[in-house]
Amino acid sequence: MSTKQNEKRPGILSQLYRGETDFQFVAARKKFYIASAVILGALVVVMLVKGFVLGIDFAGGVQYSVPATDSSVSLDDVENAAADAGAEVASGQIAGSGDGRAFIIRVGELDSDEQTAVRTAIAEEAGVGVDSISVSEVSATWGASVSKQALIALIVFMVLVSLFIWIRFERRMAVAAFGALMHDLVLTAGIYSLVGFEITPSTIVGMLTILGYSLYDTVVVFDKVQENTAQLLQTRSKTFAEGVNDAINQTLMRSINTTIIGVLPVAALLFVGVGILGVGTLKDLALVLFVGMIVGAYSSIFLAAPWVVDMAERSAVYKRHNQKIANKRAGTDAEDEGAKPARKSAKAEDEDDDRLVLAKSDDLPLELLEEPEKAASGSGGARSGGPKKRKRR
Amino acid sequence: MASVTGADRPRKKIQRKRLPVAPYFVGLILVLALLWVAAIAGSGWKFPTPKLGLDLQGGLSMTLSAYQQGTEEPPAPETMEQARQIIENRVNSTGVSEPEVYVEGSENIVVNVAGNDIDEEALRAVGAPAELRFRIVTNSVADTSALEEQLAEQETPTEEPTDGASETPTAESTETPAGDASEAPTDEAAEETSEGSGQAPTTEDTAATLDEVWAKVGPDAAAAAQALTAAPDEATSALLEPFGALKPEEVALLPATVQFYLPQITCETLDSRPPGAVQQPDIEVTACSAPEAAAADDPSLTFQYKYLLQPATVLGSDVTSADVGTDQANLNQFVVNVQFSTEGAEKWSALTTENLQSQVAIVLDNEVVSAPTIQEVSSNSTQISGEFTAAEANQLADQLNFGSLPTNFVVETVNEVTATLGVDQLKAGMIAMVLGLILVFLYCMVYYRFMGFVVLGSLIVATAVLYPTVALLGSQIGLTLTLAGIAGFVVSIGITADSFIVYFERIKEEMAGGRSARSAVPRAWVRARRTVLSAAAVSMLSAVVLYILAIGPVRAFAFSLGLSTLVDIMVVFLFTHPIAEFLSRGNLLNKPSLSGLHTKTAPAAAGEAAAKG
């Protein structure tokens, strides 16, 4: 990440803490786009070449969880016992420790008679009662039907959430949030393929939850963007891109906190899921959430908000606005002297813009409540010293 | 009380917005009290505990999935509900305690059975497609083996009850077994059982083909059994002893006449045959009636009738409807009226014409539900009369209406968790939850210092709201807390804590702009509220969509996620916000070393902002 740091500023952590960072997320957005595109492209190739490791739920099979109280019995012994009884052992592992230590043996599909035979054989080998072995059996079609339902849920969720953001914020943000979501999905799936994490139905449904989480993050950023840019057009001080960049910087600590606070309990879950239980829903859910939350935080900062800028800058209103700011910055002197006639038409345009914006900004209760007259009437020349400046930046 | 002094002061604009905190706390306490009282009442005035899922207490959970040949369409909801009721009845009949059977999604039925002592084989069979058949009774005999056992147990040997068998073998019954090679019945029988157990390679214990069954009982017994055309005499009977040791699955492979004539094959064994054992309509079968009381004064003494039945010509699908009525002649007498379809009516009419005064057995799930005698020829409708009680008549009508499962089911998942593993998983979930809480609290303490306690307080309040809610939902609508559900709660710790972060960051921002805590806190709330609500709406949306559309254990995850989001909003509005307002009136939050809301250079930053302005 390129960090542009001003000389007088305190350390980066302290800046972060105070929301005073000035990272050029938006100006450098092309770099992030390219980086993301390269990573995504690479991961798509990985997915196509390497494919996914599918869990027991997709292939169908039986999982035995055998208490390993007798330390003289090894995992190999138990696996062999299962194989001798006619099972095709897919994997075996030891989970937990001490009293909770257990062998987890996965085998291919068995019918119920074979299952009983394998269970008995394992029980004898491990020196435990048949009743103390937990069995979990899945048919080969189960994973597919769970995934199908998850896919339906995904589509419904996408549509609803896009509508929500459209209504709550605006169209551009809905599109950007949607794009960020797709990015998160592909990236998470790619990481799964790359690392070779096992995919289970829980993983797939956990992915849906990530979408919620990733959006949650995006919504927090957008909320600030909307607040910062609501009255932007009435000022001459910032372009839309700069406004958005400020918003990202101001919410950066929030985003980081959101992600850390979200990831902490998931990490606890992951620790327990992997360390104590070894396998199962808990691990699958925690892992996918863990990966997805981090990816989601990245996409809302580096992709979603900059996309909004890209789309916004294509509109005429913002183009004019940018032009005015460019003019102002380029030649304050020249303009002050000779541009009085031109100023008039510019002012007329301003008022058009203001009306347009004010129509949309009635959801800013505090400002309007406290300073209604000023906000409504403030298209005068004293813009840059307007009341809004009291707020930071 | 702070609000009172506030109201008395001369007002500036911002003070008009000063918040009276007391009502919020009162509201919160009321909600808490209500929830706890309701939860305690719901659990019978004991300390409420959530209803634990099978993965946390041990038990067996099975998912059956409906499949219909040639179509992808899921069955209609009514069909699924019918199937659920039937499956529930079947599960109950396996003798497990308090099974839970519910429809999940559009095509799954989940069977949950708690406890460790479960006959898995029997449970697997509950989804087997048993269909209703009407079969003419060729022969019947009373099976008193159960009664003899009961009498022996009671050690009051009384005289044998009347051997109500009408031993009149008809011509038909002799045609099948004797000379015939065992091939045809073998194939059919094997097919029938394949539903329950699949084409298993033979294990030592259970014979899977008829030939193996013959081999198991020995050639002498086999020959003797196949030669039978009537009940065996004493000598043959001794020869047939090995048949008594056969398992129900093996018995199901035997020809119907062998099953019928051998006294060693009891009704108890016959009733335990794999489901669908008597389903094939075009072969002869043997089945037993429901137990009947042998003596009026002692209901525990029962015996059953064993019937030899002809191939079925009228099937369950020929019945269009059945309802309970009363006999025209005797209004105290309940009857069941049956309506047949056009095609069914033709078959029924033919059947009744040919078999006037014979018994016709209504066969369902390996059992003869009822065996009325045909009194007259009838076609499109018929009336079944007997010594029915209202309940019996209703049950028979139900069975006729949808006695057979309306669609086919396959076992998709079976999850058997031992009680030990259940306890381990519960422990693991709890550890994850506590660990998650501690991590989040520590982080907030480091980051927000004193405000970390506000986070802790809020999380405690959230827990105090969630716990009775989950317990209440458990006792009232049967919500079970599963491992996935616990995972949902753990994950939502983050979501809940995050709303506080959004709020505090906002306060920090306002204070960095040079405001005192007193004025920053209310301003921050207005903005943070919007963000929190937007974000919560997205979480809620994903939880609801997941809950409605997903299947499998993750629904529990979605449910707890959604519930936590609601509770989170409540806690933020009723606790975190008022307490922050309250604290802002003291001087606590204005001390940088305590609140964590300050920036070290706050005055300078404020000055800078002012200078810019």
Listed in sequence order, the DSSP H helices in chain A are: 12-18, 29-50, 56-59, 75-84, 112-126, 142-168, 171-195, 201-229, 240-272, 281-299, 305-312, 316-330, 332-338, 340-360, 365-370, 372-377
Is the separation of the CB atoms in B385 and B372 below 8 Å? yes
d(Cα A21, Cα A13) in Å, to the nearest integer?
9
Residues of A in contact with B13 (CB under 8 A): 370
Residues of B in contact with A280 (CB under 8 A): 425, 483
Residue A249 lies in a domain: yes
Mean pLDDT of A48-53: 85
For B432, residues 6+ apart whose C-beta sits below 8 A from its C-beta are A265, A268, A269, A271, A272, A273, A282, B486, B487, B490
pLDDT tens, position by position, A100-127: 678 888 888 877 777 778 888 888 888 7
Confirm or reject contact between B414 and chain A (CB < 8 A): yes
* Residue among B546, B569, B595 with most chain A CBs within 10 A, to mutate: B546
Residue A363 lies in a domain: no
Distance from CA of A2 to the nearest CA of B (A): 24
Confirm or reject contact between A26 and chain B (CB < 8 A): no
pLDDT class for B199, splitting at 50, 70, 90? very low
Q: Is the pLDDT of residue A360 over 50?
A: no
Nearest CA in chain B to A117: B203
Give counts: helices (H), strands (E), chain B: 24, 16
pLDDT tens, position by position, A249-268: 877 877 888 788 888 888 88
Residues A170 and A124 in one domain: no
More confident call, B593 vs B566:
B566
Percent of chain B past pLDDT 70, that is, above it, reads 76
Note the pLDDT of residue B189: 40
More confident call, B135 vs B385:
B135
d(Cα A116, Cα B121) in Å, to the nearest integer?
10
Class of domain B2-52+418-612: mainly alpha
State the total domains in chain A: 2
| CATH code of the domain in which A132 resides | 3.30.70.260
Q: Which of residues 374-393 of A touch B (CB under 8 A)?
A: 385, 389-392
Is the separation of the CB atoms in B284 and B135 below 8 Å? no
Distance from CA of A341 to the nearest CA of B (A): 28
Residues A73 and A129 in one domain: yes
Q: Residue B505 belongs to what H/E stretch? A: helix B483-512
Residues A46 and A69 in one domain: no
More confident call, A22 vs A118:
A118
Residues A288 and A187 in one domain: yes
Q: Which CATH architecture has domain B59-126?
A: 2-Layer Sandwich (3.30)
Residues of B in contact with A251 (CB under 8 A): 505
Computed from CA positions of residues A337, A340, A346, A348, in that sequence, does the dihedral angle turn out positive or negative?
A: positive
Extents of the domains making up chain B: 2-52+418-612, 59-126
Residues of A in contact with B444 (CB under 8 A): 261
Task: Give the Cβ contact number of residue B5 at 10 Å.
Answer: 10
For the ranges A240-244, B195-199, B387-391, the lowest mean pLDDT is seen at: B195-199
Residues A92 and A231 in one domain: no
Q: Which of residues 269-298 of A touch B (CB under 8 A)?
A: 269, 271-273, 276-277, 280-282, 285-286, 289
More confident call, B398 vs B424:
B424
Residues A39 and A77 in one domain: no
Phi–psi pair at A139, nearest 5 degrees:
-85, 160
d(Cα A126, Cα A70) in Å, to the nearest integer?
7
Confirm or reject contact between B421 and chain A (CB < 8 A): yes
Partner-chain residue, chosen from B416, B483, B505, that has the shortest CB–CB distance to A136:
B416
Q: At which residue do the structure tokens 């040079």 appear?
A: B514
Q: Which of residues 114-173 of A touch B (CB under 8 A)?
A: 114, 117, 131-139, 141-142, 145-146, 149-150, 152-153, 156-157, 160-161, 164, 168
Distance from CA of A184 to the nearest CA of B (A): 16
Q: For B65, which DSSP code?
A: E
Mean pLDDT of B575-597: 74
Mean pLDDT of A141-154: 80
Residues A245 and A184 in one domain: yes
Average pLDDT, chain A: 74
Residue A385 lies in a domain: no
Residue A334 lies in a domain: no
Q: For B262, which DSSP code?
A: -
Q: Between B483-512 and B554-571, two packed helices, what is the crossing angle to 10 degrees? A: 30
Chain-centroid distance, C-alpha B171? 48
Note the pLDDT of residue B154: 62
Residues A254 and A168 in one domain: yes
pLDDT class for B595, splitting at 50, 70, 90? low
Confirm or reject contact between B328 and chain A (CB < 8 A): no
| Chains A & B: contacts with CB separation below 8 Å | 279
Mean pLDDT of A56-80: 80
What are the C-alpha distances in Å from B24 to residues A82, A366, B31, B353, B578? 62, 22, 10, 81, 7
Is the separation of the CB atoms in A189 and A287 below 8 Å? no
Note the pLDDT of residue B403: 56
Q: For A254, which DSSP code?
A: H
Q: What is the ipTM of this complex?
A: 0.72
Q: At which residue do the structure tokens 């008009």 appear?
A: B16
Contact flag B432-A10 (C-beta cutoff 8 Å)? no
Note the pLDDT of residue B5: 47
Of A138, A163, A188, which residue constitutes the final position of a domain? A138
Residues A186 and A199 in one domain: yes
Of A278, A312, A346, which residue constitutes the final position of a domain? A312
Confirm or reject contact between B495 and chain A (CB < 8 A): yes
Q: Is the pLDDT of residue B270 over 70?
A: yes
For the ranges A61-75, A94-108, B263-277, B392-406, the lowest mean pLDDT is seen at: B392-406
Q: Residue B303 belongs to what H/E stretch? A: strand B298-309
**Coil, helix or strand at residue B207:** coil
Residue A298 lies in a domain: yes
Residues A239 and A278 in one domain: yes
Mean pLDDT of B69-79: 70
Percent of chain A past pLDDT 90, that is, above it, reads 1
For B218, residues 6+ apart whose C-beta sits below 8 A from its C-beta are B242
Residue A378 lies in a domain: no
pLDDT tens, position by position, B108-162: 888 888 876 667 766 776 776 556 788 888 888 887 777 777 777 665 544 444 4
Looking at mean pLDDT, say which of A105-114, A128-137, A278-287, B480-489 comes out highest.
B480-489
Residues A41 and A75 in one domain: no
Is the separation of the CB atoms in A383 and A353 below 8 Å? no
End-to-end CA separation in angstroms for chain B: 38
End-to-end CA separation in angstroms for chain A: 23
Tokens of B320: 């269009």
Note the pLDDT of residue A390: 40
Residue A383 lies in a domain: no
Looking at mean pLDDT, say which of A100-109, B15-24, B173-182, B287-296 comes out highest.
A100-109
Mean pLDDT of B444-465: 86
Q: Cα A252–A256–A259 angle (5° rounding)?
A: 140
Confirm or reject contact between A113 and chain B (CB < 8 A): yes
Residues of A in contact with B437 (CB under 8 A): 265
Q: Which of residues 81-110 of B touch A (CB under 8 A)?
A: 105
d(Cα A65, Cα B140) in Å, to the nearest integer?
49
| CATH code of the domain in which A172 resides | 1.20.1640.10
Of A262, A292, A312, which residue constitutes the final position of a domain? A312
Instruction: Using alpha carbons, select from B59, B61, B64, B58 the residue that is nearest to residue B104.
Output: B64
Note the pLDDT of residue B588: 67
For the ranges A195-209, B35-49, B240-254, B593-607, the lowest mean pLDDT is seen at: B593-607
pLDDT tens, position by position, B282-311: 788 888 887 777 766 666 677 888 888 888
Note the pLDDT of residue B563: 92
Residues of A in contact with B416 (CB under 8 A): 134-136
pLDDT tens, position by position, A317-346: 777 777 777 777 776 544 444 444 444 454
Q: Is the pLDDT of residue B323 over 70?
A: yes
pLDDT tens, position by position, B521-576: 888 888 888 888 888 888 888 888 888 887 777 788 888 888 999 999 999 998 88
Q: Which of residues 165-224 of B touch A (CB under 8 A)?
A: 196-201, 203, 206
Q: Which domain range does residue A66 map to? A: 61-138
Residues A206 and A84 in one domain: no
C-alpha gyration radius of chain A: 29
Task: Give the Cβ contact number of residue A161 at 10 Å.
Answer: 24
Is the separation of the CB atoms in A288 and A188 below 8 Å? yes
Q: Is the pLDDT of residue B69 over 70?
A: no
Q: Cα A259–A263–A265 angle (5° rounding)?
A: 135
Partner-chain residue, chosen from A131, A153, A389, that has the shortest CB–CB distance to B545:
A153
More confident call, A38 vs B65:
A38
Q: Which of residues 373-412 of B touch A (CB under 8 A)?
A: 410-412
Residue A237 lies in a domain: yes
Partner-chain residue, chosen from A65, A157, A266, that has the shortest CB–CB distance to B491:
A266
Note the pLDDT of residue A162: 83
Partner-chain residue, chosen from B491, B537, B554, that has the shortest CB–CB distance to A164:
B537
Q: Which of residues 305-334 of A touch B (CB under 8 A)?
A: none
